[in-house]
Chains A and B, each alone.
Chain A
Amino acid sequence: TQLLEQSPQFLSIQEGENLTVYCNSSSVFSSLQWYRQEPGEGPVLLVTVVTGGEVKKLKRLTFQFGDARKDSSLHITAAQPGDTGLYLCAGPVLSGGSYIPTFGRGTSLIVHP
């Protein structure tokens, strides 16, 4: 069972469309992070959200952390081909006295020109 469930798994859209991807859990997280991974590269951190209800904007990307800190969403406005990639959410899980980052399986986004 995946601790962080991401949906949808795949998304194929045209340039200019809006989209939202989700990251859900039955557990409470002290923080959640969103990464984007492009083909042939490692993930790159986009944002960290730490407060329930928090909304952060990064240009055309809007990230929200749920009030109960169990879920998060990423909304992209007017998607561009450069937004293509695998979007991963991650959260810290306490194990053996320290935190292990746990990742969702990701949403693979393709934006067609």
Chain B
Amino acid sequence: KAGVTQTPRYLIKTRGQQVTLSCSPISGHRSVSWYQQTPGQGLQFLFEYFSETQRNKGNFPGRFSGRQFSNSRSEMNVSTLELGDSALYLCASSFYRDRVIDTQYFGPGTRLTVL
């Protein structure tokens, strides 16, 4: 079974631009979550989608948005990029909706650098 794939793997943008990242979950998984990972803050939850609906959102500004398609693929968008948005963006998929005991499978991430 193919794992979670993320594209692109690396991205360089300048301040003020916008960026769209893509995530393809494991086949059959309907839950997709996005995370931002930085050395200073660690791994932080951005949002989760389940069956095309945003189920939960972390504490990030409205410049961060996402969506999920009917085939469970997901995209996240960051508008008006700031230097502080430089980070590794990770996508994770899971089968179940209940996250109390849930196994998330992470993709390799997209490394975004904002200049």
- Contacts A95-B56, A96-B56, A100-B56: A40 and B108 contacting too (C-beta < 8 A)? yes
User: A40: which B residues are within 8 A, CB to CB?
Assistant: 108
13 contacts between A and B (CB under 8 A): A31-B100, A41-B108, A43-B43, A48-B103, A90-B43, A92-B100, A98-B56, A99-B99, A100-B56, A101-B45, A101-B102, A103-B43, A106-B43
Cβ–Cβ contact B106 & A43, under 8 A: yes
- Cα A105 to Cα B33 in complex, Å, equals 18
CA distance A92 to B106 in the complex (A): 17
For A103, the closest partner residue in chain B by CB is B43
B42 partner, pick from A42, A50, A104, beta carbons under 8 A: A104
- Which residue in chain A gives the minimum CB-CB distance to B92? A42
Kindly identify, within residues 18 to 51 of chain B, every residue whose CB is under 8 Å from any CB belonging to chain A.
Answer: 33, 41-45, 48
User: Would you give the shortest CB distance from A93 to chain B, in whole angstroms?
Assistant: 9
Name the CB-closest residue of B to A31: B101
Does B4 lie within 8 Å of A42, measured CB to CB? yes
- Cα A90 to Cα B108 in complex, Å, equals 18
Within 8 A of A (CB), among B44-66: 44-45, 48, 55-56, 58
The answer on a CB contact under 8 Å between A42 and B100 is: no
Residues on A with beta carbons closer than 8 Å to the beta carbon of B99: 92, 98-101
Query: Smallest CB-CB separation from A6: which chain B residue?
Result: B42
Give chain A nearest CB distance to B85 CB in angstroms: 19
Contacts of A96 in B (CB 8 A): 56
Inter-subunit contact A48/B108 (CB<8 Å): no
